[in-house]
Structure 1
Amino acid sequence: MSRTGPTRSKRPGRRVTELVRRSTRLVWSCSPRLFVAMVGLQILAAAALGLQVLVVAQVLERILDLPDAGVTTALVWSVVALAVLMALGSVVGVAQGSVRRLLGELVARSMNERVQDVATTVPLRNFESPEFFETLQRVRQSAATRPFQVTQGLFTVIGTLVSSIGVGAALVALYPWLLPLLAVGAVPVLLTSRRESALEFRFTVAQTTNQRERMYVNFVQTNRDEAKEIRAFQVSTWLRDRYRTLYDTYLEALRKHLLRRLRLSTLGQVLSGVVLAGTLLVLVVLIANGEVGIADAGAAIVGIRVLQGQFQGLVGGVQQVHESGLYLDDLQSFLRHHARQEATAPDRRDSAPPFAGARIQDVSFRYPGATTDALTDVSIAVGPGEVVAVVGENGSGKTTAAKVLAGLYDPDTGHAMWGDRPYGTLVDADLRSRIAVIFQDFVRYAFSASENIALDDAGADARRDELGRDDVRAAARAAGVDGALARLPHGYATRLSRMFDDSADLSGGQWQRLAIARAFYRDADLVILDEPSAALDPRAEHDLFSSLRRTLHGRSALFVSHRFATVRGADRIYVMSSGRVVESGTHEQLMAHRGLYAELFDLQAGAYFPDGWSSSTP
């Protein structure tokens, strides 16, 4: 997708019609009753405004008759009617605001959910692309307001047209030449407003990167996880200066952008004002020559003022439709693009067969924008009931290989196989339910302890008792965190975050164990643990791996680690370096081979034996 937004090759009339149709259908789908109420209120407000002009003419005429006729019943009723119409207009305006707000929130929810559906289902590779992030950021902001603004602009156009017809009919009855003059005055504003809308959209697209950076720097300075390092390294001044520099750059661009818009708006308003002034001068000349009566002149002036306001409203509504339509095009383009990705993906209708092993075979993978492969011809297999380890130094490709085996990344070349079936032929949801994955950078959800463990069906059982369900507790016991969770203020129902009241938090090691419990809870055939012991002490790490077979109850596991001593009991160990598998075998076989594994194992073990270490050391 283009960084500058969607292309717009359709003729303006057809495009506006399509925008209105799409947005109206969207708003209608969110709440037909509120949509009808919005239209009804808009028409009622417009009719009340038109009637006010006619009643003003009656009031003026009867006021001028006061010296002869006195205060008549007709005058009283005309004044009462004018007051009622004005009050009705105010009440309708308040009701419109309430309905508009509620309907806007419903539309925002609907569109945000659509964007969330895309963000949670697109291939994980997309999140490695800055272009995807920029587009996602832009449409995420547009989704909350722009679709409804198109329809709201349409409501404004409808209302102002109805009002203009009523007021215009009154003016035509008085002086037919007034209406064409006022209509001509709206043309310059209409033309310049379209140009303003295009400038606004281009400015937003151009500032997406700056806005993302500002949001990130602001987030870093206000987020709890970063707070300790900001203080420890005393970087608050640097971050604040960076934020200010980014904002200064944005403000300078904003000043130039607003100046361009101001010039266009001024040009349109001046030309429109010239036409209006000419119209009023002609009317003044007619009054001075006695060709127009005072009452008719007063009504005409009120009508001109009201109609001028309606024309401005009409132009504003058209501008709102056009400007918001540009963002809506961008949003719809984003949704359609990823819908096409799903539609063109291989047909994945088969359920995953019983587990007979999983493997990646001759797999190569490159991250978007990278110049070298993260994986090159990598083959790793996990058989039924096996505990397989992948080891290597940082940056060797271990985590990337685990993500491909988990089905989170599609390989560029090679195959990921579930038994004898390629992953691409299986239903995604079914395949994912058969694999449990815990990564080193697992998410600490600000939910209850029970919900953090039972992510698969966290919402299925809203009534969780204080001690937690048996299946959740069993997973916590297997990971060695049951005692810590049971001692929380509300047991397993305790919210794990300092961001909310009546909550608590865990230590780094306890969170690590809870994440492992998350994997154990899922009744998956294959469990992938990527550096699951990074926050554990050596004894806890040894205990975890030693009990892994018992905890898994015959299920298979892939254990990713950079600590070689931990995985020596694995059925098979793959050694990775620079995105390749360079060795594989059991611990004894690899030590006897005296390759990279033996070198790194001796190097790590040497830290515990300052006087020297060899593989024969007891």
Structure 2
Amino acid sequence: MDAGAVDPLTLRAAARYRRKSLGQLRRLVSTSIALVWSADRRLFIGLVVLQFVAAALLVAQVLAVRSVLQAIITLGERANASGVIGWILVLAILTGLSAICGSLQTQLQRLLGEHVAHAMWNRVLGVSTKVGLRHFESSEFFNQLSRVQMSALSRPYQVTQGVLSMAGATVASVALGVALFSLAPVLVPLVACGGVPVLVASRRESRLEFDFSVQQTPALRLRSYFGMLQLGRDEAKEVRALGLQSWLMERFNGIYSSYLADLRNHVRRRTGLSVLGQVGASIVLGATLLLMVWLILRGSLDIAGAGAALVAIRMLMAQVQLVFRGAQSVFESGLFLDDLDDFLALGAQARDEDQGAVAPTSFDTIRVEAVTFSYPESPQRALQGVDVELRAGEIVALVGENGSGKTTLAKLLAGLYEPDGGSIRWDERDLSEFSSSSVRDRVTVVFQDFVRFALTATENIATGRIGLTVDPQRVRMAARSAGAEQALDGLPNGFDTILSRMFAGGQDLSGGQWQRVALARSFYRDAPLVILDEPTASLDPRAEHELFTTLRSALRGRTALFISHRFATVRGADRIYVMHEGRVVEQGTHEELIRIAGRYAELYRLQATVRVGGASHDGGEAVTTEHDDRVQEAT
């Protein structure tokens, strides 16, 4: 099912259904404990041991309180303070050890939490970098990803922490219950009921919290986006140039104010439920204490026993509530983890889809036959019955106006998407026979919106073939082929200069220089098929012409698909395909397309006229002459 088909109401309904399954709860707890165990088993064992030690210390404190009170009562009779002092020292030591144990638990929990978060980040990032690009066309995928980032990453540890808390509190409750039973058996059942109101309220709070998170995800994403627009380096110049500061702040504050209003209502509802639970627990506690007073009045409980019972009741009540709070943590986290499991399942789906033979390291012909394709959530087809052929060693150009489908076809050829209909064949074998990862390994793509990594120039180029030891000579050769070597050598630290001002010592490049670095990255990859999507968009006409004339030697026999909306750039291509509204409307060499006087010839003539006018205006004599010749030829 497409991720875009899932809406928040469906998600909440599914969550409510799953909450009713005890099997789901058992799976949730066992999976979370297994994750924490794999993250750091020594810390996990340490926390378990501390839970039992803490429980034993609580029981020991109750018994010590009783002994202190008995020693005080008999002090006047024996006139010996040594017994009292001894038991007071024991109680002080036990109290100190209990505090130390609690402090150790807090620090170990923090450390283990980071280990679990690290493991979960690896899982989430592993999914987000492996799922098909179709998911990134879905708004609900981004909603789910945002929820995972905001809350679900910490939930596996919270489930385990809840289970540990329940286990430790249960052990302490049993021990304290035995101690209290020895003092006043009738009080034990009443104290045990004290956590029930908290549990009932907590279950409802958990549902409210998950529903609120699902409901607010789109708004929180939008708020983050408006925040990013005001913080981003790339956006800073346009924000200032257009005077968008106040408008962006108003939008940000409007979304934030709406969220805060919803949050106030949510907190009010949760607080109300929490108060009801605590009131119920307090009523039970009050009834327990009244019963204890009645037992004292009838002589069933002496003063020392009463004092110890009072301490035991307070401790036992706290432990019982801790048991139910742990249950709440498990239930609440479980709702988020169901959401996380759905997200992680996409990774398994991606692995299942990445099956097939390994794509060959070379080919004679790639044929695109009657290919159709639509983006998710889009009613229109991006490609409609497209036929294209690429032969080994050729430079094939794909031209057309913006939105004609050029980049979409490039993504299909690169194995980033699968066609809805038709086929793409490598030497008569359908591309679907190969694993998509092996297909992508045989293709290098330079998109017009390529990534500018805030890394060194060497690393920017070497990302073209990650997995191999970086070869500085190969990096330099790729830069030379792309015409970037001289510019990179001129940087303060040469190829070791960070290409960003975000970090100390970094330097930025011009748009044209960055484009050459991206080209160098593609040459470094050394794949049999090279796809260059508007690789000259940031180059001036002369540099653009020089790049295309040297492209064949730089490719060293590899096949290239050169995508451009500048028709004059691709005159030397072996074959040119003209796209319009998702279809191939013409094909042939430059001369053949000019001769048939169709769409290519018309657009070529228009572009050449515009560029001649621009060159004359700038006083560029050499470029003007070149384009005058092209206009004469086109007309």
What TM-score do the two structures reach when normalised by structure 1?
0.95
* Alpha-carbon separation, structure 1, partners of 2:86 and 2:520: 78
Relative to structure 1, is the Cα distance of residues 460 and 550 closer, same or farther in structure 2, using a 3 angstrom cutoff?
closer
CA contact (8 A) 2:354 2:436 kept: no
Could you say what secondary structure the match of 1:574 adopts?
A: strand
Shift of 1:222: 0.4
CA contact (8 A) 1:346 1:424 kept: no
1:530 paired residue among 533, 536, 547: 533
CA contact (8 A) 1:346 1:425 kept: no
Give 2:392's aligned residue.
384
* Alpha-carbon separation, structure 2, partners of 1:520 and 1:597: 30
Residue type of the partner of 2:449? D
Give 1:547's aligned residue.
550
How many residues align? The count is 612
Relative to structure 1, is the Cα distance of residues 272 and 12 closer, same or farther in structure 2, using a 3 angstrom cutoff?
farther
* Alpha-carbon separation, structure 2, partners of 1:524 and 1:81: 75
Give 2:262's aligned residue.
253
CA contact (8 A) 1:447 1:496 kept: yes
* Alpha-carbon separation, structure 1, partners of 2:631 and 2:439: 44
Matched, 1:31 2:40: yes
Matched, 1:182 2:194: no
Could you say what secondary structure the match of 2:314 adopts?
A: helix
Give 2:53's aligned residue.
44
Relative to structure 1, is the Cα distance of residues 608 and 154 closer, same or farther in structure 2, using a 3 angstrom cutoff?
closer
2:382 paired residue among 374, 383, 388: 374
- The farther-off stretch of 196-205 and 600-609 is 600-609
Could you say what secondary structure the match of 1:121 adopts?
A: coil
Give 2:610's aligned residue.
607
Could you say what secondary structure the match of 1:496 adopts?
A: coil
CA contact (8 A) 1:451 1:458 kept: no
- Correspondence list, 1:320-469, <5 A: 320-340=329-349, 342-343=351-352, 345=353, 347-352=355-360, 354-458=362-466, 460-461=468-469, 469=472
Shift of 1:143: 4.1
Per-residue deviation, residues 77-125 of structure 1 (Å, max 9, x unmatched): 3222212212211222222122212221111111111111111111111
Shift of 1:221: 0.7
CA contact (8 A) 1:50 1:164 kept: no
Residue type of the partner of 2:213? T
Matched, 1:616 2:633: yes
1:480 paired residue among 479, 483, 505: 483
Give 1:319's aligned residue.
328
Give 1:570's aligned residue.
573
Matched, 1:159 2:168: yes
* Alpha-carbon separation, structure 2, partners of 1:329 and 1:379: 44
- The farther-off stretch of 545-554 and 414-423 is 414-423
- Correspondence list, 1:577-596, <5 A: 577-596=580-599
Shift of 1:410: 0.6
* Alpha-carbon separation, structure 2, partners of 1:279 and 1:347: 65
Residue type of the partner of 1:17? R
* Alpha-carbon separation, structure 1, partners of 2:79 and 2:585: 108
5+ unaligned residues in a row in structure 1: which ranges? none
* Alpha-carbon separation, structure 2, partners of 1:121 and 1:346: 9
- The farther-off stretch of 350-359 and 410-419 is 350-359
Could you say what secondary structure the match of 2:584 adopts?
A: strand
Shift of 1:359: 2.9
Could you say what secondary structure the match of 1:503 adopts?
A: coil
- Correspondence list, 1:60-75, <5 A: 60-75=69-84
Give 1:272's aligned residue.
281
Could you say what secondary structure the match of 2:255 adopts?
A: helix
Could you say what secondary structure the match of 1:528 adopts?
A: strand
Could you say what secondary structure the match of 1:369 adopts?
A: coil
Residue type of the partner of 2:61? Q
Could you say what secondary structure the match of 1:560 adopts?
A: strand
Matched, 1:505 2:508: yes
Relative to structure 1, is the Cα distance of residues 88 and 3 closer, same or farther in structure 2, using a 3 angstrom cutoff?
farther
* Alpha-carbon separation, structure 2, partners of 1:520 and 1:221: 36
- Correspondence list, 1:231-250, <5 A: 231-250=240-259
1:204 paired residue among 213, 229, 234: 213
- Correspondence list, 1:282-301, <5 A: 282-301=291-310
CA contact (8 A) 2:130 2:350 kept: no
* Alpha-carbon separation, structure 1, partners of 2:634 and 2:32: 74
Residue type of the partner of 2:24? R
Shift of 1:254: 1.1
* Alpha-carbon separation, structure 1, partners of 2:132 and 2:179: 61
Residue type of the partner of 1:534? A
1:219 paired residue among 222, 225, 228: 228
Shift of 1:578: 0.8
Matched, 1:96 2:87: no
Give 1:150's aligned residue.
159
* Alpha-carbon separation, structure 2, partners of 1:156 and 1:617: 80
Shift of 1:346: 7.3
CA contact (8 A) 2:363 2:392 kept: yes
Shift of 1:12: 4.3
Shift of 1:614: 4.1
CA contact (8 A) 1:362 1:414 kept: yes
Per-residue deviation, residues 177-207 of structure 1 (Å, max 9, x unmatched): 1111111121111111111101111110111
2:494 paired residue among 478, 491, 494: 491
Give 2:67's aligned residue.
58
* Alpha-carbon separation, structure 1, partners of 2:195 and 2:152: 31
Per-residue deviation, residues 522-560 of structure 1 (Å, max 9, x unmatched): 111010000011111111111111100010011110000
Could you say what secondary structure the match of 1:367 adopts?
A: coil
Shift of 1:229: 0.5
Shift of 1:306: 0.8
Relative to structure 1, is the Cα distance of residues 460 and 65 closer, same or farther in structure 2, using a 3 angstrom cutoff?
farther
* Alpha-carbon separation, structure 2, partners of 1:559 and 1:74: 94
* Alpha-carbon separation, structure 2, partners of 1:427 and 1:577: 31
| Superposition CA RMSD, Å | 1.9
Once the two structures are aligned, what percentage of the paired residues are identical?
A: 49
* Alpha-carbon separation, structure 2, partners of 1:177 and 1:212: 55
Give 1:228's aligned residue.
237
Relative to structure 1, is the Cα distance of residues 104 and 562 closer, same or farther in structure 2, using a 3 angstrom cutoff?
same
Could you say what secondary structure the match of 2:154 adopts?
A: helix
Shift of 1:459: 6.3
Relative to structure 1, is the Cα distance of residues 413 and 262 closer, same or farther in structure 2, using a 3 angstrom cutoff?
same
Give 2:24's aligned residue.
15
Per-residue deviation, residues 275-298 of structure 1 (Å, max 9, x unmatched): 111111222233345543221111
Per-residue deviation, residues 224-253 of structure 1 (Å, max 9, x unmatched): 110110110010111111011111111111
* Alpha-carbon separation, structure 1, partners of 2:144 and 2:105: 33
Per-residue deviation, residues 478-516 of structure 1 (Å, max 9, x unmatched): 111112212222221222222222222212111111001
Per-residue deviation, residues 538-585 of structure 1 (Å, max 9, x unmatched): 111111111000100111100000111000110001111111111111
Shift of 1:457: 4.4
5+ unaligned residues in a row in structure 2: which ranges? 617-627
Give 1:3's aligned residue.
7
Shift of 1:170: 0.9
Shift of 1:458: 4.6
Residue type of the partner of 2:135? N
* Alpha-carbon separation, structure 1, partners of 2:506 and 2:355: 45
Residue type of the partner of 1:560? I
Could you say what secondary structure the match of 1:616 adopts?
A: helix
CA contact (8 A) 1:448 1:494 kept: yes
* Alpha-carbon separation, structure 2, partners of 1:70 and 1:575: 109
Per-residue deviation, residues 38-88 of structure 1 (Å, max 9, x unmatched): 111111112112211111111121122222334443333322221221221
CA contact (8 A) 1:51 1:166 kept: no
Residue type of the partner of 1:269? Q
Residue type of the partner of 2:192? A
* Alpha-carbon separation, structure 2, partners of 1:163 and 1:528: 66
